[in-house]
Amino acid sequence: MHRIITIGREFGSGGRELGRRLAETLKIAYYDHEIIAEIARRTSLSEQYIQSVSERAPVFSFPIHTGRSFYPAPNPAFDQSLSVYREQSNILREMAEKSDCVIVGRCADYVLKDYHPFRIFVCANMESKMQRCRENAPEDEKLTDRELRQMIQSVDKRRAGYYSFYTGQNWGDRLNVDICINTSRMVIKEVVPAFARLFD
Amino acid sequence: MHRIITIGREFGSGGRELGRRLAETLKIAYYDHEIIAEIARRTSLSEQYIQSVSERAPVFSFPIHTGRSFYPAPNPAFDQSLSVYREQSNILREMAEKSDCVIVGRCADYVLKDYHPFRIFVCANMESKMQRCRENAPEDEKLTDRELRQMIQSVDKRRAGYYSFYTGQNWGDRLNVDICINTSRMVIKEVVPAFARLFD
């Protein structure tokens, strides 16, 4: 069975960088945006649309009811979110079958649980996440501190909701991962060689 | 400043073993029971008594009140718990001043925060903690599964209460530690060399 490493990460915690560097150090495949591109190819939905439903729990519109009867109304947006999730899960399993790899986000720890992945969760305090976002932001981004904080909270809330919707578990719960890394005081490229040793 | 590693740990998670092996690998001091012995030496309290108040939040008896007035009643047990904690904190600071070290439990991450320790928390699922307890138990121990489970829950609840009483923080909160290690699927002696690399 291949060596699968899954990475859950708070927005701005540097989890993606940690995953990419870990894959480089271990010389194994790294999957992140590639998954979106592959879903787009298979479903003929646009990458932009898939991105918009990706890592977001689907919104369920309640059915119309008249008097005492319920008529399940068609809910194409809800159904399509589930289809994207299903397709994504198929792709994750194919990737896990193909070779050793690092996979970022997408409930991969849960979807691939039969492959016994090594599950990493990456978090950081708000100050550190804001600083990292500032460093990586395009030059023309003009968010105030308050707006940036709200944006980070909103993305993390969405990811937690997505994870909980599809897995029934709490996102980042210490018993659902093997190690949880708080990057607030770390320089990621300096710690990756140590974590890579876990897979020697 | 010396390299200080603090280890918080759930009962049965193997945190103590991890700390001891880490100290051996890094060839630095390891403090655990030594702290109790040193407090006993300094306070002339018995090791047994110190052990009984150690990692346990003190119990506060409410003062007697007559009519509308409150008379703070003397509470020697409460005061002595605080004294033990104070003495313990002094000892931890002396240890941190003396040399690089690994310190297990005793809110060391909080007491030594000005030394910027590397803070590890070790946890595991109940099944794994029970198995480890069984492996390390004396041969004549005859706890049923239910009793063992209750004992583990009770020790962890006490440790959480102690930590929260003295630090005002949640025990094992992922943002109060640098890494949280779930040992449920790990063989501790196999992973220690990797974690030791964090301190190269």
Per-residue pLDDT of B43-65, as tens digits, reads 878 888 887 777 777 766 555 55
The token duo for B138 is: 């004396």
Cα distances (angstroms) measured from residue B181 to each of A5, A146, B17, B130, B174: 15, 33, 13, 17, 10
Under 8 Å between Cβ of B8 and B121: yes
In a 3-state reduction of DSSP, which class is residue A145?
helix
Helix residue spans in A27-75 (DSSP H)? 33-43, 47-53
Chain A CA closest to residue B172:
A174
Percent of chain A with pLDDT over 90: 60
pLDDT score at B84? 81
Of A116, A177, A194, the CB nearest to B195: A194
**Minimal CA separation from B133 to chain A, in Å:** 18
What's the mean pLDDT when you consider all of chain B?
88
**Minimal CA separation from A37 to chain B, in Å:** 33
pTM, full prediction: 0.89
Cα distances (angstroms) measured from residue B196 to each of A87, B18, B26: 40, 10, 7
pLDDT score at A38? 83
How buried is residue A124: exposed, middle or buried, by Cβ count under 10 Å (0-12/13-18/19+)? Answer: buried
Chain A residues within 8 angstroms (CB to CB) of chain B: 116, 121, 123-125, 172, 174-175, 177-182, 184-186, 191, 193-198, 200
pLDDT tens digit sequence for A104-147: 998 999 999 999 999 999 999 999 999 999 998 888 888 899 99
How buried is residue A68: exposed, middle or buried, by Cβ count under 10 Å (0-12/13-18/19+)? Answer: exposed
Of B178, B194, B196, the CB nearest to A195: B194
